[in-house]
Amino acid sequence: MRNASYDGYNFIMHAKDNFSKFSWLYTLPLKEVTHIVKNLGDLFYRFGPSKILQTDNGKEFTVRQVLQEYEINNFADPVSDTKVGGKKHSLDGPESAYHHVVSGYQIYKHQNESFRLKYNNKSLNEFQLAYETWGKLNAKKNNAILLFTGLSASSHAKSHDENQRPGWWEKFIGPNLGIDTNHFFVICCNHLGGCYGSTGPSSINPATSKPYGASFPMLSVEDFVRAQFQLINHFGINKLHASIGSSLGGMCSILSALLYPENVGRVATISSCMAPYPTAIALRYLQRKMIMTDPNWEHGHYYDKDVYPLDGMRIAREIGTLTYRSGPEWLERFGLRRFNDAIQLTPTFEIENYLQYQGLTFAKKYDPNSLLYISKAMDLFNLTEGYDNQTDAFSKIQCPVLVLGAQTDILFPIWQQKQLAEELIKSGNSNVTFFELNSIFGHDTFLLDVNGVSTALKGFLEISALSIEEKTQT
């Protein structure tokens, strides 16, 4: 029986960000089922089933709840890939929870010792890293896993008591999951240069008492890794059970085994590379150019002004969104579906509308300068830099390595993961596992393919010289 509390309410689709310029208002009496289906369908495909609808008397429901209560059965759940009572629709598509501003992290402060950076003869006299942990560090301190994030992620990979919001790897970390917290102690940091609690361009420069802005020193992937190993030392951990990362995080995880071969037990690198290829560099260059040519960027010093490079950030995110997913997904999910029948220069197609939404929702959730600095560090990454040849570099990495990649990834194409695995094997590492994921979700496969990625990780992590008793000993 339908819930009568829904009858006659005005459901408002709230765009949660205060910069959003739009909202939707729908009246949903039970008798107008066609009206309900049409308008909830619009909400469903644009924003997903978990989006909050708020009634005019203050009650809140999700799109999914309303669909279920009205027994509307022809919309699939794009987040979990399950059905809401009926057949799967061709436009469904999951969205990651990767870019949410969070709280509930802990702070590691590095001070009293200058931290030397790779480029331009620069140092940071002090910095802080935001981090979160899950599981319990055992008495021998040999069950720790360091999880490196992608470009724009916070440290909030998994919910916990201090922050119960789902993390960006919510279904990958936890008891009996891919990274099993019954066995392992997991540490995840927001990168140096980030804006979710770690020191970055938006932080106050102690020398000026103003935000660093574009005066922040240039960063490298090596700096990200070395900074986080300061935290590992702070915990008194001599050797990690594993270093894991995806995308930028995958660069960090494989580099950690090169920089600290005696301190990393095994490595999982997902959707990453030994060096970026020109197309990826070009795409990130365009993203940076969109931000830096926005007049409101103010040469990186917009923090104390009543301006913000919203347009540049929005377009940069739209470009990024295209690189994170795949053409086959867009074809299946959107096709040539239109949301606007008017013939004019403004957006007509659902794919255009989707990109606009992605750009707007991300534009004020992440600091533009952090995007500039961290994306440039990705472009400058080269695992074998400073070595006479590739063999000299790769021969230092002799721990077990798991290399995962997605067939449809256009940002880090699958040949780059194959290349990485092959170079490791050629250099004498006999413990290299390469696995190609058959996923339609492109680069975002590492966020969305729970079964493929999590299953591979679980097997790789739990094949270990450590016994369960050692891992769980307190």
Among 187, 195, 212, residue whose Cα is nearest residue 125: 212
Q: What is the DSSP string of 357-401?
A: HHHHHHHTTS-HHHHHHHHHHHHH--TTTTSSSHHHHHTT--S-E
Which pLDDT score, from 0 to 100, does residue 364 have? 84
pLDDT at 23: 29
Report pLDDT digits (tens) over 237-263: 999 999 999 999 999 999 999 999 999
Q: Is residue 341 part of a domain?
A: no
Query: What angle (nearest 5°) sits at the alpha carbon of residue 375, between those of residues 256 and 16?
Result: 115
Is 196:105 a contact under the CB 8 Å cutoff?
Answer: yes
Least confident of 68-82, 153-167, 179-193: 68-82
Whether pLDDT at 277 is above 80? yes
Angle, CA 288 vertex, CA 129 and CA 417 arms, to 5°? 70
Same domain? 76 vs 115: no
**Residues 139, 178: one domain?**
yes
Structure tokens at 334: 């959107």
In a domain, 290, yes or no: no
Residue 340 lies in a domain: no
**Residues 149, 226 within the same domain:** yes
Residue 455 reports pLDDT greater than 50: yes
Name the residue among 248, 249, 195, 214 with its Cα closest to residue 366: 195
Of 429, 430, 435, the closest CA to residue 458 belongs to 435
SS3 of 300, please? helix
Residue 60 lies in a domain: yes
Q: Tens digit of pLDDT for each residue in 87-106?
A: 333 334 566 554 455 568 99
pLDDT of residue 54: 59
The answer to whether residues 261 and 398 belong to one domain is yes
- Model pLDDT, residue 24: 33
Same domain flag for 18 and 116: no
What is the model's pTM?
Answer: 0.79
For the chain, the distance separating the N- and C-terminal CA atoms, rounded to the nearest angstrom, is 52
Determine the 3-state secondary structure of 313 from DSSP: helix
35/182 same-domain check: no
If one counts the domains in the chain, the total is 2
Higher pLDDT, 319 or 54: 319
**Are 61 and 137 in the same domain?**
no
DSSP state of 433: E
Q: Which long-range contacts (CB under 8 A, 24 or more apart) does 25-31 make?
A: 28/66, 28/70, 30/2, 30/6, 30/70
pLDDT band, residue 285 (cuts 50/70/90): very high
Domain extent, residue 72, equals 4-84
**Residue 391 within a domain:** yes
Whether 267 and 381 share a structural domain: yes
* pLDDT for position 119: 98
How far apart CA 53 and CA 50 sit, in angstroms, is 9
Q: Is the pLDDT of residue 328 over 90?
A: yes
Condensed to tens digits (0 to 9), the pLDDT of residues 193-249 reads 999 999 999 999 999 999 999 999 999 999 999 999 999 999 999 999 999 999 999
The first and second tokens of residue 217, run together, are 């020193």
The rounded mean pLDDT for the chain is 84
Same-domain pairing of 116 and 164: yes
pLDDT for residue 211: 96
Element (H, E) at 211: strand 210-211
Q: Shortest CA distance to 462 belongs to which of 400, 371, 373?
A: 400
Name which of 91, 60, 89 is nearest 72 in CA terms: 89
Q: What share of the chain is helix, strand, coil (3-state, %, to 5)?
A: 35, 15, 50
342-378 tens-digit pLDDT? 888 989 999 999 999 999 989 989 999 999 999 999 9
Q: Please say which residue of 52, 84, 116 terminates a domain.
A: 84
Least confident of 36-45, 115-124, 128-137, 321-330: 36-45
Instruction: Give pLDDT tens digits for 54-77.
Output: 554 566 677 666 666 655 443 333
* Residues designated as active site: 247, 409, 443
Please give the Cα distance from 175 to 184 (Å, whole number). Answer: 9
pLDDT band at 340 (very low <50, low <70, confident <90, very high): confident
pLDDT at 341 (0 to 100):
87
Res. 463 pLDDT band, cuts 50 70 90: confident
Residues 64 and 211 in one domain: no
**Looking at the predicted structure, is the pLDDT value of residue 28 above 70?**
no
Question: How many helices and strands (H and E) does the chain possess?
Answer: 14, 20
Whether residue 151 is found in the same domain as residue 62:
no
Asked whether residue 296 is domain-assigned, the answer is: no
Under 8 Å between Cβ of 442 and 96: no
- Asked whether residue 298 is assigned to any structural domain, the reply reads no
Residues 6+ apart with CB under 8 A from 255: 221, 222, 225, 381, 383
CATH code at position 403: 3.40.50.1820
Residues 53 and 159 in one domain: no
- Asked whether residue 147 is domain-assigned, the answer is yes
| pLDDT band of 31, cuts 50, 70, 90 | very low
Q: Bridge-partner residues for 306, per DSSP?
A: none
